[in-house]
Structure 1
Amino acid sequence: MSAYVARKGPAVFSALGKWAYNLSGFNQYGLHRDDCLYEDEDVKKAISRLPKHLYDERNYRITRALHLSMTKTILPKEQWTKYEEDTKYLEPYLKEVIREREEREEWEKDH
């Protein structure tokens, strides 16, 4: 059994990830993972760096999700965000913001 799991490891994790993703429920509103991040200072700054089209798409998804939540409905299943299609669109901007903040904190420590 353990040899089977070892060979099928990535597939098992992918299936588990997909199960957890679908269980979370945000995809039923058409949201992406990055739409649901807690907006601390780093996330806010990363959002401000998004290209206009990504920023507008994000705002549309969030506005639509709020409307659906208020009306206690969800999207039709064919419109749910799919695990395979959900991209971490904010991640490169967030990594850059965090790197800059850490660099600034390190510089301020030394000066």
Structure 2
Amino acid sequence: MDKQLLGLGLSAQPQRLPSPRARSIPLLCYALRFLAILPKTACPKVLGNVHIYLKESLFNFRTLLSTTSTWTIIYQKKEKFSDKRKFERESFGVLERREAMASALTKWLVDPNRNPLAALHMKTLSKRLRKYGLRYDDLHDPMYDLDVKEALNRLPREIVDARNQRLKRAMDLSMKHEYLPEDLQAMQTPFRSYLQEMLALVKRENAEREALGALPLYQRTIP
């Protein structure tokens, strides 16, 4: 009996157990092998020591498993979180690139210096506006867009009067099916803006009021 115990590295006397870090699965396997060869009539003191050793070994083994599973879950959560953040960053980067590409494409489409079709459209529109003595900003309708109406109200009176005179002259020429003389058409400036700066200011003010939660200054109503 003592030889068998010594062969397994155990003795009948209680010994100091190794540190929890040193205990592992092979120790538990040795203990189970010892139970297989231990006779039923063994000394109760030996059985008590073996029972304590097995109990602590099982506890350490379960602790090791639970700790390993806990760290595995934490690592998996970190991996999922990092993958999610990476996916969000990549998605945000893709959206930014798409917005930049869309903005660049829009600028290219409306730029007459870069797009031949835009240059052709600008030339055609300029010729038609010169025939009636109009400017491009004269085409904005204050009854359709209230921002245009507000911007016109903020402009100096002489600018608004000149706009009204051009519109009345264009309506008169259109009713008579006539155009301006060639010398007057050459003097026209169809793309000289007088409304865009004030209109942009009005739109920025409205956007700021909306962001602050304030009521709009004007609203369209049905009489």
> Does TM, scored on the shorter chain, surpass 0.5?
yes
Residue 134 (structure 2) pairs with residue 31 (structure 1): yes
Unpaired runs of at least 5, structure 1: 1-8
2:216 corresponds to 1:101:
no
CA deviation vs aligned residue, 1:53-105 (integer Å, no higher than 9, x gap) = 1111111101111111111111112212245xx31110111011111111111
One-letter code aligned to 1:97: V
Question: Does residue 55 in structure 1 map to residue 160 in structure 2?
Answer: yes
* 1:52 to partner: Cα distance: 1.2
Partner of 2:120: 16
TM-score by length of 2: 0.39
Number of residue equivalences: 98
Which amino acid letter does the alignment assign opposite residue 166 of structure 2? R
* TM-superposition CA deviations, 1:4-29 (whole Å, max 9, x none): xxxxx838758535423335x13211
Tell me the TM-score normalised to structure 1 length. 0.74
Q: Output the CA distance in 2 between the equivalents of 1:11 and 1:105.
A: 36
**2:183 pairs with 1:78:** yes
Deviations 1:18-43 (A, max 9, x none): 423335x1321100000012331011
The 1-side partners of 2:164 and 2:207 are apart by: 28
- Map of 1:65 onto structure 2: 170
- Counterpart amino acid of residue 10 in structure 1: N
Q: 1:22 to 1:87 in 2, by over 3 A?
A: closer
- Unpaired segments of 5 or more residues in structure 2? 1-111, 215-223
Higher relative CO (Cα under 8 Å, sequence separation at least 6) belongs to 1
Code of the aligned partner of 1:89: Y
Alpha-carbon contact 2:135-2:189 (below 8 Å) kept = no
Inter-partner Cα distance in structure 2 for 1:12 and 1:104: 37
Amino acid at match of 2:141: Y
